[in-house]
Structures are given as structure tokens and as C-alpha cells.
Amino acid sequence: MPNINQRVATSLEKFSQKGGEKVSNYVNAAGKALIAPMIIMHNPFTKEDEESRKWAAVKQPVEAVITIAMQLATLGLLYKGIDKLISKGKINFKYVEEATKDVSKIPQKIMEACNNDVPKALKMYKEQYNDIFKDRVGAVLSAATYIPVLAVSNKIYPKLAKKLVNNKNESKPSK
């Protein structure tokens, strides 16, 4: 039976193999939701009062949830659209096309991973290119959703903060 360290390492490896923009979004959101509020609340170097720190700390998890929801929804739609275009042959990659004509162009590591099964190796090679393409386009899309995420977050978080933060004045503290 594998020990806990082995299980964690295996899980992290599987998670990282998924790679790309989705993993980056998960890690970023987890940091915002879990770590940032603690650092904001327990920062010994700040001169902000406790209520101001609470307001700032509440925004982080709210923004993380909104970010994940918006970016993953848009990425999901984008990836479906790209997959549809690829399946219709509207998106092709030069190296994959060359490999279909000349199997020696397939990287040796892929051939070995597929036990020299050419159709299987071609499929794997094509999938890798598709994933890389989707990841690059997804990174651009994630960056483009940053401002809408902030806009939505700035509308929602004051309402939540009023409910979560013990605020006697029922208004955001001034800086």
C-alpha cells in the first residue's frame, strides 16, 4: 500500500499532467480563497484597522469563486468550439500533417509510448498539438476575462462583506 507522500506525489503529477490554463486558474483561485485572506488578516506590518482588513480579506475568496466560474465557463465553451473546428478540419497543424505523410516525423518518445503503433502515435501527437493550441488560446481568453471578473467582483463583494463583516456603520470604511 503506497504511503501518503506517494499518494500526494501521484495526485500532483496527475493534476499537473492536465496542465494548462485550467490548472493555473485552480491554483490561483485556491491561493486567493485560502491564503490571501489569512495574510491580509494577520499581517503584522499593516497599520490598517481590523475592520478594513476584514473588508479586504472578504474580497479575495469572492473574487476567486467568480474568477473560477467565469473563466472555466468561458474556457469550456472555447474548448468545445475549438474541438468542433478541429474535428471539421478547419484547424490543422503543419507538424501533424507532415507526420501523417512521413511517420518518421513523429517524435520518438510518442512512438515508444504507443509501442510503435503508428495510428495510435499519430492520434496522440495530434491530441498534444490540440491541447497546446487550446492552452495558448485559453491563456489569452483568461487574461481577457480579468476586467469583467473584477467588475462583477466589485459589485458582489460589498454586499457579501456587509453580511460577513461585523460592521456597525453598515458602510465600507474609508481609507
pLDDT at 72: 81
Q: Is the dihedral of CA 90, 93, 98, 103 positive or negative?
A: negative
How far, in Å, CA of 51 to CA of 61, rounded? 17
Mean pLDDT of 25-30: 82
pLDDT per residue as tens digits for the range 98-122: 888 998 998 999 999 999 899 999 9
Residues 6 or more apart whose CB falls under 8 angstroms from that of 83 comprise: 130
pTM for the structure as a whole: 0.63
pLDDT of residue 84: 94
How far apart, in whole angstroms, are the C-alpha atoms of residue 128 and residue 111? 13
